[in-house]
Amino acid sequence: MKIPPKSKSYMIPEYSLTGDLLSYITCGLQYRYQNKGALPPSKPVQRWFGEFIHGVMEESFNQWKFGKKEFPWDWKDDIRPIEDEIDLRLQVRGLYPHDEDLFFSINQPGQDLKREDLNEHDHKKLASARAEKAINIWGEHLFPLIDSAELLIKGLRPMPNYDKNISRSNYYGINGVVDVLTSTKINRMHEERTSANNNKIVNFIKSNIKENSIGEYEIIIDYKGMKRPPIKVADPLSEDKWENHKQQILTYSWLRSKQEDAKDISAGIILYLNELVPSKEDLMMIKEEIRDNLTDVPQNGEFEKDVETIENWKEEDKAPELSDEFKIARSIRFIEINDKEKRKALKKFDNVVCDIENSLIREMKGCKIQDAWKAEADKRTCLACDFKTFCKHNSDITKNI
Ligand code: SF4
């Protein structure tokens, strides 16, 4: 019997919206070292917090769904057990809250404290304060509207600039994870609304969405463990997070529309959870953005008192007291979805995948890593980068640190 030669293995490269797209846009070379080189960052504070807050929201939703415990939840009794569980899950994956001002972990060898020993003053650090606010401010309004939580959405697209002699595959895969709200639940909540049951998310959707433009619809929700980005970036090397988050939601909506049970996707909502408890660094940036007119909240004389408080606040002072209304308004963003914008977002995703694939192919052909990958980032990103000491694209200012 003649055994045919083994055919060339067929592999479709898979790209995730957050892990690949947003990470590559920040800096291609950093993405290569961290993702393709499987080197986790030594201080993955941003990544740890992003995953932590997603995990906390997901687990809180599950507990609410099966127990329907009334809000507000108590930090020590209700929220801290969830935080500890998520902290453990992240540790298993090698993700730690290195910054001790961010999170107090009792899941450490030699740590003799028990949960009962924790107290709010010493142990409720920034991540816990944000988790508590995220659950108690948004959970009450958001959880009753969620139809599918942590929904994995996947899709295939033709490989941009496909060349059968060079390209790794004729298709590539995209994936992402989202929460989905449906119009049925939104409308029911709207009809049942009383002054005691004033759902902030329903009100926000109803004030932004064009009524009666569609029948049954869905809204995609994503959480971000960061402050609201500025609507314009002053430094051309800085990542335009405002635009990139919009592209991400538009791509999610395309992916979701490919699924069998999907309804029309009418909009996306992003919750910027750091706004609920901003750090001093966040506050400095908010102050600059208000001064330079780079933010959409506040606008037209809104939140006058909060704006005045921020303008008069100095970095060496204690963090100022801001109103809940101001923090809530800054933490929620509406993204309209239409076909034209969706096509633009997909084109952008294709371009990023094309760049990544070209860099990979260059490297596979023997090009040095630093020459094969595009390295461009603003000073802030370079300063926090693990590879700054040997990156030849880094600016001299951060190289000697
Ligand atoms: S130092 Fe800057 S340019 Fe170099 S890899 Fe890091 S972020 Fe990119």
Give the tens place of pLDDT for each residue, 347-363. Answer: 999 999 999 999 999 99
pLDDT digits (tens, 9 = 90+) for 36-56: 765 555 555 567 888 899 999
The ligand 1 atom nearest the CA atom of 381: 7
The confidence band for 211, taking pLDDT boundaries of 50, 70 and 90, is low
State yes or no: cis peptide before 72, omega within 30 of 0: yes
pLDDT exceeds 50 at position 401: no
Q: Please say whether the beta carbons of 190 and 211 come within 8 A.
A: no
Q: Which helix (H) or strand (E) holds 155?
A: strand 146-158
Pairwise CA distance, residues 183 & 315, whole Å: 44
pLDDT digits (tens, 9 = 90+) for 367-385: 999 999 999 888 888 888 8
pLDDT exceeds 80 at position 251: yes
Report whether residue 391 contacts ligand 1, using a CB cutoff of 6 Å. yes
pLDDT exceeds 60 at position 399: no
Q: Whose CA is nearest to atom 5 of ligand 1?
A: 30
| Ligand 1 binding pocket mutation candidate from 394, 398, 401 (most atoms within 8 A of CB) | 394
pLDDT digits (tens, 9 = 90+) for 170-203: 999 999 988 888 888 888 877 776 544 588 998 8
Ligand 1 center to residue 320 CA distance, Å? 34
Report whether residue 345 contacts ligand 1, using a CB cutoff of 6 Å. no
pLDDT digits (tens, 9 = 90+) for 260-317: 888 887 799 999 999 999 999 999 999 999 999 999 999 888 999 999 999 999 989 9
Q: Whose CA is nearest to atom 7 of ligand 1?
A: 382
Res 182: pLDDT: 84
CA of 24: how far to CAs of 51, 218, 255, in Å?
A: 18, 29, 20
pLDDT exceeds 70 at position 395: no
Res 302: pLDDT: 92
276: CB partners within 8 A, 6+ apart: 130, 133, 134, 137, 327, 328, 331
Report whether residue 30 contacts ligand 1, using a CB cutoff of 6 Å. yes
Beta-bridge partners for 18: none
In this prediction, residues 237-266 reach a mean pLDDT of 90
Q: Where are the domains of the chain?
A: 14-35+129-278+322-358
* Average pLDDT over all residues of the chain: 88
In this prediction, residues 238-243 reach a mean pLDDT of 91
Report whether residue 375 contacts ligand 1, using a CB cutoff of 6 Å. yes
Ligand 1 center to residue 389 CA distance, Å? 9
Pairwise CA distance, residues 26 & 39, whole Å: 16
Ligand 1 center to residue 264 CA distance, Å? 40
pLDDT exceeds 70 at position 30: yes
